[in-house]
Amino acid sequence: MSKSIEQLILALNKEYEIYQDYLVLAKKKRDMVVQGNMKALDKLTKKEQNMIANMGKIEKIRITIIGNILFEEKIDWVENITELTNYFDESSKTELINLKENLGILLQEIKHINEFNSKLIQQSLDYIDFNVNLLTSVELKGNTYGSKADDKDLKQRPNLFDAKI
């Protein structure tokens, strides 16, 4: 097994660890959204941003390592890691394919939880939007009881916000 292949295995293992931590964070995030705990959600979002930055760094490292392997093995182009493993010995090939499959399963689970979190957040935003619209569209009637009551006695509550997004 070449040094570059060992580095690729290490990089993929590190990437797997980061994604496992991210999965735990995504589950906590779901719980915070359900509970409506905005302070904790804000803290988790900041942690999430750091994790995403780390994911980007490890991905750049992985891409560089794959580039090195392509150069060392004099390979012009490969579509994916599975195709790349065709150039490796059996033990390296097996280990990398297992890592790739485990990463795929983990990423699917993260995708599922993120989609669920997105739906929860959208529902919360829709509820807030509904309430804001309800509050801003309420009409207040004047207290005039005589026959001279007219449209000036009907007052519409002013908008809560002056700016549009």
Cα 135–chain centre separation: 32
Dist. CA 1–CA 129, nearest whole Å: 58
The Cβ of residue 100 has, within 10 Å, a number of other Cβ atoms equal to 17
Pull the structure tokens for residue 158: 């002013």
pTM over 0.85: no
Pull the structure tokens for residue 33: 């959204």
85 close to 96: Cβ distance less than 8 angstroms: yes
29-46 per-position pLDDT tens digit = 999 988 888 899 899 999
Give the bridge partners for 140, in sequence order.
155
102-136 per-position pLDDT tens digit = 999 999 999 999 999 899 889 888 888 888 888 88
pLDDT-based confidence at 162, cuts 50/70/90?
low
Dist. CA 23–CA 48, nearest whole Å: 10
- Which residue segments constitute the domains of the chain, with CATH numbers given? 3-156 (1.20.58)
User: Residue 55: which of 109, 17, 26 has the closest Cα?
Assistant: 17
Backbone angles phi, psi at 155, to 5 degrees: -115, 135
User: Residue 30: which of 107, 120, 123, 127 has the closest Cα?
Assistant: 120
Looking at residue 75, its amino acid is I
77-98 per-position pLDDT tens digit = 899 988 999 989 999 999 999 9
